[in-house]
């Protein structure tokens, strides 16, 4: 029988509870854990010789990763009363610690999140190891609900209203030192001394608490008054609404619970929290966010029985432009040796400076030390000579988007490297199959499509050509994950997944502009739908040169339904680049601030000004994305709806609260989607002609998700 919870008696009457799931790398708050924890608490409560309790983990890098989300997902399929009862049972179990008649100390090392942190809050004292993986937080809002085991009650009362609400409403994590300065933990200790120091505190030693400044104490006191709380609630509500646009109810609900329960007896306060938790956890938003969590988890799984044939130690990057430098920096940050090559010394120097600037930014944000940054910068070698790539195990090209150039660099790299290596292309739209055919070893050619800016965008599309071996695909996926990205595996097809589905969205935005709909109205409809920015602004941000290239590639590959709008000619003749050139569909000042629609674009619009309802605009913009997503599934570009939605969420910011493009379609109902597309295909063009998969699902009454 699995033994997750063990209790040993130490000298001086101190009980030491060690939590360590032998069947997992992580400790999670599962039903199995609670069964053993309850038995251990029964035994402790029955003893009269215990003078103190220390709770620690047998895993140095994980105290608790939080609740078992699999169990939460299962509960989400049941009535709200079931999830309320589960919440109450977990809270009551954790609260048994707070009722023990002696000092209780949580000794935290590694990850301590969600219900794991709430367990420590039930202890009288907390001590954290200065381990690099120590990370404490309440990330529940990221899954669409709030802490349910006392977190919204205890944390603000412990560290202050403002700091407590900020941690809860953002889901942010803090390391051991930040936790100590906040007052979340009473002391920090070296990992080797953690339990020893916890035992001392349980035996009566005073912890070395951080002494907050007079200003901090005054601020906390002021906010705790009735007037201070009223002011804080107004300001916090405004901040939450500006950040979430009202689409994510959990942060606002957390604020309501905190304010309502401030000063309330704990038992009553816990009841308010539990009811709010159950309401949120059974909402459509939470179900969608939990689904995304599982899709992200699934994307991290390596294929079974397949191991990378080539171990990647040294990475070559061709092209020192914005993308190439970004990829090189990410690889260096992840610990690889990097060779950055360009054909021009000035371009190379600029790329190396960009890499240094990115590392300098990490130092200024205290995410790494100066010495660590200098070591990473030193791992990047700049060159204009192919011979310097000789030791590379993986070469990623980020050169100009022309097939003839891509094929030429493959040949040049093959001359420079005599050993087996992987060649990866960062192309956003060209055929990986065609590139692979040009290589001596097509099995070792793969796509690694990063998104700009590399250091901010979380997604990498790992593109499998027809000839790509399973081992090469595994190595490419492993590399993507090691550089900190979410990887989604796709087949080779025009635009892969993200650009393929984004193309009709951008095309229809331009078409609406040409029909006389104001650019601001188009963008507003998209942001109110849930997108981080509107499509007109997005095209300028990406670069109109790139947008026009992608649209032309899509037209060439997919036919008339993606024919470029007439204004593309104006964009090319006027050499409009978008925000980076100061002129795009909008105009920009020297600081990059938007000043209005470009007169050259306005002059190309022959239609009179036209106003459409927000819902009509959203149908015109987003239903083509649903349609194209269905084409991608039908063509086998990607197999799993959840992975397609993951790609669109991390690659474009598509509204997570809706569950992604296909999640959105399911919420509308496929029959409704089919009817709307049929209507729009008659009044707005072939781009809306329903994909056969949508027709079939509508006829059968099916959804994209089972």
Does pLDDT of 106 surpass 80?
Answer: yes
- Secondary structure of 17-51 as H, E, C letters: EEECCCCCCCCCECHHHHHHHHHHHHHHHHCCCCC
Higher pLDDT pick, 2 / 222: 222
Question: Could you tell me if 644 and 660 are in contact, meaning their C-beta atoms sit under 8 angstroms apart?
Answer: yes
User: Is the separation of the CB atoms in 42 and 4 below 8 Å?
Assistant: no
- The band of 360, judged by pLDDT with boundaries at 50, 70 and 90, is very high
- Kindly tell me if the per-residue pLDDT of 590 is higher than 90: no
What pLDDT is stored for residue 497 in this prediction? Answer: 97
- Describe the strand order of the beta sheet including 173-174 as a list of residue ranges: 62-64, 111-113, 135-137, 173-174
Q: How far apart are the first and last CA of the chain?
A: 35
User: What residues form DSSP beta bridges with 318?
Assistant: 341, 397
176 close to 130: Cβ distance less than 8 angstroms: yes
Helices 544-558 and 535-542, interaxial angle, to 10°? 100
Longest dimension (CA), the chain: 88
Write down the pLDDT at residue 588.
94
Cα 485 to Cα 451: distance, rounded to the nearest angstrom = 10
Cα 340 to Cα 336: distance, rounded to the nearest angstrom: 12
Confidence class of residue 621 from pLDDT cuts 50, 70 and 90? very high
* Cα–Cα nearest to 113, from 180, 203, 28: 28
- The answer to whether 118 and 158 have CB atoms below 8 angstroms apart is no
Which range of 80-89, 360-369, 403-412, 575-584 scores highest in mean pLDDT? It is 403-412
Confidence tier at 1 by pLDDT (50, 70, 90): low
Which residues sit opposite 52 in a β-bridge? Answer: 14
Cα angle for residues 491, 494, 497 (degrees, 5° grid): 55
Please check whether residue 543 is in contact with residue 453, taking contact to mean a CB–CB distance below 8 angstroms.
no
The two structure tokens encoding residue 660: 């992604």
Position 165 pLDDT exceeds 90: yes
Backbone angles phi, psi at 446, to 5 degrees: -150, 160
Please tell me the predicted confidence (pLDDT) of residue 429.
83
Establish whether the linkage from the previous residue to 453 is cis, with ω within 30° of 0. Answer: yes
**Tokens 């509500």 belong to residue:** 237
Residue 681 above 90 pLDDT? yes
Q: For 502-547, what is each residue's pLDDT tens digit?
A: 999 999 999 999 999 999 999 999 999 999 999 999 999 988 988 9
Question: Does 449 participate in catalysis according to the annotation?
Answer: yes
Determine the Cα–Cα distance for residues 598 and 544; give it in Å rounded to an integer.
13
Q: With a cut of 70, say whether residue 235 has pLDDT above it.
A: yes
Q: Residues in the chain, how many? A: 706
Going by pLDDT thresholds of 50, 70 and 90, the confidence category of residue 164 is very high
Q: Which of 76, 168, 36, 55 minimizes the C-alpha distance to 120? A: 55
Summarize pLDDT for 269-316 with one digit per residue, the tens.
999 999 999 999 999 999 999 999 999 999 999 888 888 889 999 999
Catalytic residue among 16, 131, 449, 555: 449
Among all chains, which residue has been given the structure tokens 């090392």?
109
Q: State mean pLDDT over 187-209.
A: 96
- 422-425 and 445-450 strand pairing: parallel
Q: Which domains does the chain have, with CATH numbers?
A: 5-282 (3.90.226.10), 314-491 (3.40.50.720), 498-700 (1.10.1040.50)
pLDDT at 2: 62
What are the backbone angles phi and psi of residue 14, rounded to the nearest 5°? -90, 125
Distances (CA, A) of 435 to 425, 487, 496, 670: 9, 21, 15, 38
20 close to 4: Cβ distance less than 8 angstroms? yes
pLDDT digits (tens, 9 = 90+) for 58-97: 999 999 998 888 888 888 888 889 999 999 999 999 999 9
Q: Angle formed by the axes of helices 535-542 and 519-529, to 10°? A: 100
Dig out the tokens for 653 from the structure. 């910011």
């Amino acid at each position: 029988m699995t033994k997750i919870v063990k209790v040993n008696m130490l000298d001086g009457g101190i009980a030491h509870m060690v939590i360590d799931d032998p069947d997992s790398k992580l400790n999670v708050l599962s039903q199995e854990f609670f069964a053993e924890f309850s038995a251990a608490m029964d035994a402790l409560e029955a003893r009269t010789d215990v003078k103190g309790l220390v709770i620690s983990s047998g895993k140095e890098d994980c105290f608790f990763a939080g609740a078992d989300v699999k169990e939460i997902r299962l509960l989400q399929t049941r009535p709200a009363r079931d999830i309320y009862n589960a919440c109450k049972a977990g809270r009551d179990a954790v609260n048994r610690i707070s009722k023990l008649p002696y000092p209780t100390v949580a000794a935290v090392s590694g990850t301590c999140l969600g219900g794991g942190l709430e367990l420590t809050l039930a202890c009288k004292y907390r001590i954290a190891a200065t381990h690099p993986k120590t990370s404490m937080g309440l990330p529940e809002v990221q899954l669409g609900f709030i802490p349910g085991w006392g977190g919204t009650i205890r944390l603000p009362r412990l560290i202050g209203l403002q700091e407590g609400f900020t941690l809860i409403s953002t889901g942010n994590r803090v390391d051991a030192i930040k936790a100590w300065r906040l007052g979340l933990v009473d002391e920090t200790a070296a990992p080797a001394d953690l339990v020893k120091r916890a035992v001392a505190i349980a035996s009566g030693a005073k912890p070395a608490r951080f002494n907050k400044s007079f200003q901090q104490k005054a601020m906390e006191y002021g906010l705790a008054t009735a007037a201070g709380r009223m002011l804080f609630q107004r300001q916090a509500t405004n901040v939450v609404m500006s950040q979430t646009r009202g689409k994510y109810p959990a942060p606002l609900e957390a604020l309501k619970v905190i304010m309502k329960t401030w000063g309330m007896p704990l038992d009553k306060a816990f009841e308010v929290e539990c009811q709010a938790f159950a309401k949120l956890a059974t909402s459509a938003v939470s179900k969608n966010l939990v689904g995304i969590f599982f899709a992200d988890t699934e994307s991290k799984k390596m294929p079974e029985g397949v191991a990378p044939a080539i171990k990647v130690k040294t990475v070559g990057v061709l092209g020192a432009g914005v993308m190439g430098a970004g990829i090189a920096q990410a690889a260096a940050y992840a610990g690889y040796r990097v060779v950055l090559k360009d054909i021009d010394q000035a371009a190379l120097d600029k790329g190396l400076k960009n890499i240094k600037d990115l590392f300098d930014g990490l130092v200024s944000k205290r995410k790494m030390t100066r010495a660590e940054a200098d070591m990473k910068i030193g791992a990047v070698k700049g060159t204009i000579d192919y011979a310097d790539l000789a030791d590379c195990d993986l070469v990623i090209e980020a050169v100009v988007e022309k097939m003839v150039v891509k094929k030429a660099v493959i040949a040049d790299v093959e001359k420079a490297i005599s050993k087996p290596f992987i060649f990866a292309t960062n192309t956003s739209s060209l055929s990986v199959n065609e590139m692979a055919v040009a290589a001596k070893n097509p099995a070792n050619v793969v796509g690694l499509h990063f998104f700009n800016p590399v250091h901010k965008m979380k997604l990498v599309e790992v593109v499998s050509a027809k000839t790509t071996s399973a081992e090469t695909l595994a190595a490419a996926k492993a590399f993507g994950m090691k550089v900190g990205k979410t990887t989604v595996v796709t087949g080779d097809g025009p635009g892969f997944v993200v650009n393929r589905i984004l193309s009709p969205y951008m095309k229809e935005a331009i078409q609406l502009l040409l029909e006389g709909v104001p650019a601001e109205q188009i963008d507003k409809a998209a942001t109110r739908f849930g997108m981080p920015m509107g499509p007109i602004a997005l095209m300028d941000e990406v670069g109109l040169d790139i947008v026009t290239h992608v649209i032309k590639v899509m037209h060439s590959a997919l036919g008339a339904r993606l024919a470029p709008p007439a204004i593309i000619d104006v964009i090319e003749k006027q050499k409009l680049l978008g925000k980076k050139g100061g002129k795009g569909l909008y105009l920009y000042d020297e600081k990059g601030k938007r000043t209005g629609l470009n007169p050259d674009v306005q002059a190309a619009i022959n239609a009179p000004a036209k106003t459409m309802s927000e819902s009509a605009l959203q149908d015109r913009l987003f239903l083509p994305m649903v349609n194209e997503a269905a084409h991608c599934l039908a063509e086998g570009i990607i197999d799993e709806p959840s992975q397609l939605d993951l790609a669109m969420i991390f690659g474009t910011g598509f509204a997570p609260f809706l569950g992604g493009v296909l999640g959105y379609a399911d919420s509308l109902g496929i029959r409704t989607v089919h009817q709307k597309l049929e209507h729009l295909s008659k009044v707005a063009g072939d781009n809306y002609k329903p994909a056969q998969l949508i027709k079939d699902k509508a006829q059968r009454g099916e959804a994209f998700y089972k």
